[in-house]
Structure 1
Amino acid sequence: MKRWLTLAAGAAALTLATAGCAGSGGSGTASTASNTGTVTVWLMSGSAPTSLTDQSNKEFEDTHPGVKVKYEVQQWNGIQQKLTTALAGDNPPDVVEIGNTQTPAFASQDVLADLSGSVSDFNGSQWLAGLKASGEYDGKTYGVPFYAANREVIYRKDMFEQAGITATPTSTAEWLDAIAKLKAKFGGDPDFQSLYLPGQDWYALLSFIWDNGGDIAQAGGKSFKATLGSAGSKAGIDFYKQLVDVSGTKAPKDADEATPQQASVYGGGKVAMFVGAPYEVATAAKTDASLTGKSGAFPIPGRTAGQTAPVFLGGSNLAIPANSKNQSAAKDYVKLLSGAKYQTQLAAAGYVPGTSTDVSALDKDPLGSVMAKASKNGRAVPASPKWGDVESGQNPLKDMLTAYLTGKKTIDQATADADAALDKLIG
């Protein structure tokens, strides 16, 4: 899961979940492929568990006599260039896993097959709403949601209890009240942080921007217009600053959640809350094993009590290269993985399913169940073919946050500069 939560969509960050046959499960997929040949499948390291792929590959071959699955696990490091080369060639793999912010870029290059006519075959009615747009480009569908992950608020249950907090916050006002109570109880310790919040955690920022009615950018045909200077976006940025100011966070204002790794900071025992992913508790527990039992989670609160804030969904899509020599069999393979049978297995492994609304398999995990609940109000970044340039380069959102939080720029100056930079990148 690390890949899509650490850096998310186009650059490198965390992985998380999926689900065959228009909601009826994966078994018994009828063969529409030729009765001979090979289906080459590229999935990414850390995605589907080996137990799942062993079973699904065998099932596919059993239901498609004469067709063999050539299954290859790819590494995230260097995958952008490897995919670029393979998809432009005459003999690409037949099924590929692509980061959800990379999908529009490849679709715009005409190297992915148009799957618009097959959405219903891929359990389309069950797709996670926040991921649907990430597989679309110019009004057509090129990617099938495979799995997703999103952030939540990880907290110390024992500290909440000692501070007299009897219920987890369900609104931003209650969240601020909890911070005040934690500071009142533990603030005498100069190392204590009620909330660890780095200055450049723009993934967390998106929740506050969206919750206030703002957005990064608005689409206009194939182009985008940055909207960080809108009233809603500014309100979300202001709330981010309020959290930084009142929480006592000692996180750097010029770095993100990976510098230093926030899970390691939480593992030090002086942090009551941070915005992160379930897997980060296990990372923290390497420093202090007791944190596994002491940690809980709640969805990022929204302004309205009882309504969670929208969350950024990072994850992957399944796609079929336009030059695939066996597209019929490839569609059957995607149909199998996007069905309820294998989506449920992915959820049981701790992922948020991309093509199934059934997240009951995550209920056994207190942290995973909260993530799944929050994912229903999830969104993706603008589906621009050039979004990867935002994440991999001089990210205007990070620059904006640091400039505003440090007082180097007013919010009007910071957002105007960020909008101008984004317009150059994705406009």
Structure 2
Amino acid sequence: MTSFTRRHALGAGGALGLAAALAACGSDTGGGDGGTPELTDEGNDLTVWFMKDSVSEKAMDWLKSAYEEKTGGTLTYEIQVWEGIVSKLQTSLASTSSTPDIIELGNTQAPTFCAVGALLNLDDLEEDLGGDSLTQSLVELGSFDGSLYAAPFYAGSRVFFYRKDWFEELGLEVPTTIEQLTSVATTLHEANPGGNADFSGLWLPGIGAQQCYAWLFTNGGRIATEADGKWAADLSSEESQAAFAQVQEIWSKASRAGSVTDPTTGGELHVPFNAEEAGMIFGFNWQYKSIDDKLKDKVGFFGFPGVEEGGTGHPFAGGSNVAISASSQKQTAAVEALKLIFAKEFQEFFATEGGWVPGNIDHASALGDDDLATLTAQAVENSVGTPAAANWALVEGARTLDDFFVALAGGGDPVSLATTADASITDMLNKS
């Protein structure tokens, strides 16, 4: 599962009808009213939908056994694929006869389902699941109107991979501000230690919107903000424009990857790194396994730096949330299963089996104590998410941010591009 797969799981067709369809046939016991419904209890045998490759067999076996021991009931797993999952959930969650009891949702899918009455209110459970230790960027995406409906399941966030030998050769230090990052990337680019005509100091693809969010969020910009029930896009703000100037400087001085518009190519960061066409890449911890063995002892890592010395970087986090269907007739049993999902034993499987940061970040130590593991956990803890708007699916389906950053990488005027994108995003997020 990749960030590209998640991003395009909400296609334009499914996104356009999702909110209306679910609102029309959603359960009255669901979210959106801020209240906690009376739990139903019609047996202990549950159906659980997890996405392909999200949860290991070992983790599912543990959960199945622990649940049976605790309740006497059986968990039946149905593994789903990302393609088409939104329309499948749209149909299933609206019916008491066909709904799964527990579901996994992509974190950027969660806001729509939270807003339309499809999920059970989890406010009374939040402390039991982890409270303040839950990944806050995913808490925001799993909440609506101040209440939690989809709890953080697991997450991943990007860190920088760099060639330690080239840094040493050129006398470079690990950057601790965005300005230093640009300087280091430019020095690497000009020196071209890889001796390759396609060399980039930092390989930053034009299609890499989710990578570029780190500059946006760290500068204090946001994609959109909400006030009094209305959303307003934020790409034209002073903070956002400062971020866009920084990424454009990298594309003009330190990266030949701005012209990359194919999502598959843009996601395969190990390819230019292994070909010695990149001094740095900005990727997930699990991508380290794709680095050539002959290079692995030459790779170092650092997190996204702050604007000022000693500041904190705020990358985007991709991941999943987990929820209980509001249409489930076995909600009491589903609550017990959800508590087990957030038990230390199950949460640690995300780290040890999947290489992800658990939804309860207190259990992230299971990733290990090396630099990559530590930096990954810190990145998730400091992450910021996309807007927790019911209509965010429309923006993703329209590829508005992808197109914006591709145009920005091509040298487009950031003010003009932001003005156009802001109008489109604001309109979609407020569409009734």
TM-score interval, smaller chain: 0.7 to 0.9
Q: Would the alpha carbon gap of residues 114 and 302 (structure 1) be closer, same or farther in structure 2, given more than 3 Å must change?
A: same
Indicate if the aligned counterparts of 1:201 and 1:257 stay in contact, CA closer than 8 A. no
The one-character-per-residue Cα deviations of 1:122-174 (angstroms, maximum 9, x if unpaired) are: 22232112221111012221101100111111112222222222x42211232
Asked if structure 2 preserves the Cα contact closer than 8 Å seen for 1:223 and 1:384, the reply is no
Q: Distance in 1 between matches of 2:163 and 2:66?
A: 44
Contact map agreement 1:35 1:64 (CA 8 A) in 2 = no
- Residue 112 of structure 1 and its aligned partner are, at CA, apart by 1.1
Measured at CA, do residues 35 and 114 of structure 1 come closer, stay the same or move farther in structure 2, by a change above 3 Å? closer
> Are the equivalent residues in 1 in contact too, given 2:118–2:325 (CA < 8 A)?
yes
Q: Distance in 1 between matches of 2:65 and 2:47?
A: 14
In the other structure, the counterpart of 2:378 is: 373
- After TM superposition, the structure 1 = structure 2 runs for residues 28-427 of structure 1, keeping only pairs within 5 Å, are 36-65=43-72, 67-91=73-97, 92-165=99-172, 167-186=173-192, 189-252=196-259, 254-256=261-263, 258-259=265-266, 261-283=268-290, 285=291, 288-349=292-353, 350-393=355-398, 395-407=399-411, 409-427=412-430
Deviation at 1:199, TM superposition (A): 1.6
Using the alignment, how far apart are the partners of 1:413 and 1:106 within structure 2? 33
> Matches of 1:375 and 1:260 in 2, distance apart?
19
Q: Is the 8 A contact 1:106 1:112 kept in 2?
A: yes
Deviations 1:178-204 (A, max 9, x none): 224323542664232211111231112
| Offset at residue 351 of structure 1 (A) | 1.0
Which is richer in helix?
2
CA contact (8 A) 2:133 2:360 kept: yes
CA contact (8 A) 2:235 2:419 kept: yes
Task: State TM-score, norm by structure 2.
Answer: 0.86
Please state how far the C-alpha of 1:340 moved relative to its aligned partner. 2.2
The corresponding residue for 2:4 is: 6
Corresponding residue SS for 2:362: coil
Provide the C-alpha distance between the structure 1 equivalents of 2:159 and 2:297, rounded to a whole number of angstroms.
Answer: 17
Contact (CA 8 Å) 2:159, 2:375: kept in 1 or not? yes
Considering only aligned residues, what root-mean-square deviation do their CA atoms show, in Å? 2.3
- 1:273 deviates by 0.7
The aligned amino acid for 2:324 is: I
- Give me the whole-angstrom Cα distance separating, in 2, the residues matched to 1:137 and 1:33: 22
Q: Post-superposition shift, 1:365?
A: 4.6
Which structure 1 segments of 5+ residues have no match? 13-31
Alpha-carbon distance in 1 for matches of 2:217, 2:122: 29
Cα offset, 1:240, TM superposition: 0.7
Going from structure 1 to structure 2, the CA distance change for 1:160 and 1:44 (only over 3 Å counts) comes to: same
Cα deviation 1:386-407 (Å, max 9, x = unaligned): 21222222x2223223333334
Please state whether the residue corresponding to 2:216 is helix, strand or coil.
helix
Residue 304 of structure 2 aligns to a residue in which SS?
A: coil
Per-residue CA deviations over 1:246-301 (Å, capped at 9, x if unaligned) read: 11424415455744733322222221111111222323x3xx33233332221111
In the alignment, which residue of structure 1 is the partner of 2:21? none
Aligned 8 A contact 1:389 1:425 in 2:
yes
**Size of the alignment, in residue pairs?**
399
Secondary structure at 2:200's aligned position in 1? coil
Q: Residue 9 of structure 2 aligns to a residue in which SS? A: coil
List alignment gaps of at least 5 residues for structure 2. 11-38
Q: Which amino acid aligns with 1:318?
A: V
1:13-32 aligned at under 5 Å gives the runs none
Instruction: For 2:62 and 2:209, locate their aligned partners in 1 and report how far apart those are by CA, in whole Å.
Output: 38
Quote the offset at 1:306 in angstroms.
3.0
> What is the alpha-carbon distance in structure 1 between the residues aligned to residue 267 and residue 343 of structure 2?
39
Normalised TM-score (structure 1): 0.87
In structure 2, relative to structure 1, the CA distance for the partners of 1:217 and 1:241 (3 Å cut) is same
Residues 368 and 10 (structure 1), Cα distance of their counterparts in 2 relative to 1, 3 Å cut: farther
Deviation at 1:410, TM superposition (A): 2.2
Structure 1 residues 256 and 34, CA, compared in 2 at 3 Å: closer, same or farther?
closer
Percent of matched pairs sharing the same residue: 30
